[in-house]
Chains A and B, each alone.
Chain A
């Protein structure tokens, strides 16, 4: 069974500093997708970044980047130049094929990020 583990329930970072959120997963598949979503107090689930397992290059989106270590099954998120608006719950998610042709997401338990002014 696919499992996703986020070992940091809470993290804090000073504004303009860098923070790294950890995520590990367990799978027997060789081709899969990984995501980071953020959920601010509004509770809207917002896509932050996507990584395809077949790509060796780490994904980046502006101030957000990942460190994808396929052999170690690790997928950490780095937020550079942290801003107050980055404060949110961050979920790591693994995408896998269920019955039929739709993929499903398995989420980690989340990391609550606080940004300090």
Chain B
């Protein structure tokens, strides 16, 4: 099973709202990722959690904050977003730990389409 689930599928929020995106995997993977993707562009990495250790893309604004409650769950908390933050947010997971071959493969969830008004 290579399933990564994301909720919600769609989200519309105002610039003053606080919301959270959720991602879950049950493959025993130890690395999880958040990406932002604009239309017709490649995904851009925002955050990586590997063995519960966070790595941040330093260009990501502080209005995005990740949380990893356990090795199966990854949340992305949103606060005071801007209209330019409207995008598809993709979660992915991999075995992590620098394992060779299959361990390097990232599996993606279906994404959350976010619209900021």
Contact = CB atoms under 8 A, between A and B. Distances in A.
A57 to B, nearest CB: 13
Contact of A50 (B41, B90, B105, B108): B105
A36 to B, nearest CB: 12
A-side binding surface: helix, strand, loop or mixed? strand
Nearest to B39: A43
Interface string B62-104: 0000000000000000000000000010101010111011001
A47 interface: yes
Given A105-B45, A107-B43, A100 B50 contact: yes
B21 interface: no
Nearest to A50: B105
A77 to B, nearest CB: 15
Nearest to B56: A99
B98 A103 contact: yes
A96 to B, nearest CB: 10
A52 B100 contact: yes
A91 interface: yes
Contacts of A98: 48, 55
Interface string A35-46: 101000011111
B40 A89 contact: yes
Contacts of A43: 37, 88, 110-111, 113
B104 to A, nearest CB: 5
A46 B106 CA distance: 10
Given A100-B50, A101-B96, A101-B98, A44 B42 contact: no
Given A102-B55, A104-B48, 8 more contacts: A42-B110, A44-B110, A47-B105, A50-B101, A101-B50, A103-B98, A103-B104, A108-B42
9 contacts: A33-B105, A35-B105, A45-B90, A101-B51, A101-B97, A102-B31, A102-B33, A105-B43, A105-B106
